[in-house]
Amino acid sequence: MRHTFVRTAVIGTTIALAIPVWAQRGQGGGVGRAGGSVAGTAAGAVNSPVSQPGGKSGNSANHNDGNHGDGNNAANGGGGTSADVSLRVSQNVGLSTQLKPLLPAGTTLAGAATGFRNQGQFVAALHVAHNLNIPFDQLKAKMTGTNPVSLGKAIQELRPNLDDKTVKNNTKLADRQAERDLEQSESAGKPGGFVTRLASNTALASRLQTLLPPGSTLQNAAAGFKNEGQFIATLEAAKNLTLPFADLKDRVTAGQSLGQAIHALRPNLTEDASENAAIHAEEQAKVIRAGAPESALSKP
């Protein structure tokens, strides 16, 4: 009788101790599954370079890959099948409009996106091909072939003359450009507050119209800039240095300073000369915003 009591007590204690463990395992499994679901949903819905399991930012992972070439950048992460990516890109009207100027001649947006893991990876690759004048099909083959590599590694292999710092900077820029494009595609048709103010200022809008590229509207040209000063200074710099406004805008709205963007597009100018050109354009922008006469805009 005594032995029976002891055995019963031991079994009861063992069960009591095991219950929290089982519960914890069950809870942990549930959390893990829920976390995976949320991450997958976020990646599928946004597909930006910053979405990645484990909580790491896409930009950070991309930059490390650019240096180490391990082929595990965030753009290679989740986001659905290649067919899903191609369909989402082609059906996103706002994103399609932004990306079409970057496509190689004769290439459709859906065809170009085929093979990429997510929209962020595809858009970043498009920008790198444009920024560094790398044939897009060669870059795509490196990133989506049988032995895919990261964006940074692909740049290194196709432009071996570039040093690690330049590769990292260009990977970072492309990440930011892709992130910006995806964000703007979500808010298409919703101009910023300063754009609305510019359009309502008839005199200023008329003056800026003379600086716009042919076929551009004030609203489209100003979209993406932080404020009217940055926008007008970029317009002035493009005019002063005969630079394509679209290329200058593409860099400035992705986070480069006006001086850095000028230097990237005019590498024959020193960094100091590029910075001085940016400062001059910013001064011109101030004069325009103040409503000063045209004579005040002449170079000193």
- Three-class secondary structure of residue 191 per DSSP: coil
Task: Evaluate whether 257 touches 173 at the Cβ level (below 8 Å).
Answer: no
Q: Any residues with CB less than 8 A from the CB of 86 and at least 6 apart, and which? A: 110, 111, 113, 114
In angstroms, the CA 268 to CA 158 distance is 23
Q: CB atoms < 10 A from the CB of 28, how many?
A: 10
Whole-number pLDDT of residue 201: 87
- Over range 148-162, report the average pLDDT: 97
- Confidence (pLDDT) at 57: 37
pLDDT score, position 212 = 94
pLDDT in tens, 117-131: 999 999 999 999 999
Alpha-carbon span 139 to 294, nearest angstrom: 46
pLDDT at 277 over 50: yes
Q: What is the mean pLDDT of residues 70-86?
A: 51
Which candidate, 252, 60, 257, places its Cα nearest to that of 168?
Answer: 60
At residue 237, the pLDDT reads 98
Q: How many Å apart are CA 161 and CA 140, to the nearest integer?
A: 20
Confidence (pLDDT) at 39: 31
SS3 270: coil
pLDDT at residue 65, as a whole number: 43
Residues making up the chain, counted from first to last? 300
Question: Where residue 196 falls among pLDDT bands split at 50, 70, 90?
Answer: confident
Q: Which residues contact 68 (CB under 8 A, 6 or more apart)?
A: none
Task: Tell me, yes or no, if the pTM score tops 0.85.
Answer: no
Most confident of 18-32, 79-93, 129-143, 197-211: 129-143
Instruction: Supply 144's token pair.
Output: 């989506």
What pLDDT does residue 27 have? 41
Reported as a pLDDT band with limits 50, 70 and 90, residue 10 is very low
Q: Is the pLDDT of residue 73 over 60?
A: no
Q: How many CB atoms lie within 10 A of CB 264?
A: 17
Digit-coded pLDDT (tens) for 27-63: 443 333 333 332 333 333 333 333 333 333 343 334 3
* Residue reference for tokens 């679209």: 246
C-alpha span between 280 and 300 (Å, rounded):
9
* 92: three-class secondary structure by DSSP: coil
In the numeric block, which tokens belong to residue 1?
A: 């009788």
Q: What is the mean pLDDT of the chain?
A: 76
Count other C-beta atoms under 10 Å from residue 269's C-beta.
16
What is the band of 189 on the pLDDT scale with cuts at 50, 70, 90?
low
* Local confidence band at 193 (pLDDT 50, 70, 90 cut-offs): confident
- Decide if pLDDT at 104 tops 70: yes
Predicted confidence band of residue 90 (pLDDT cuts 50, 70, 90) = confident
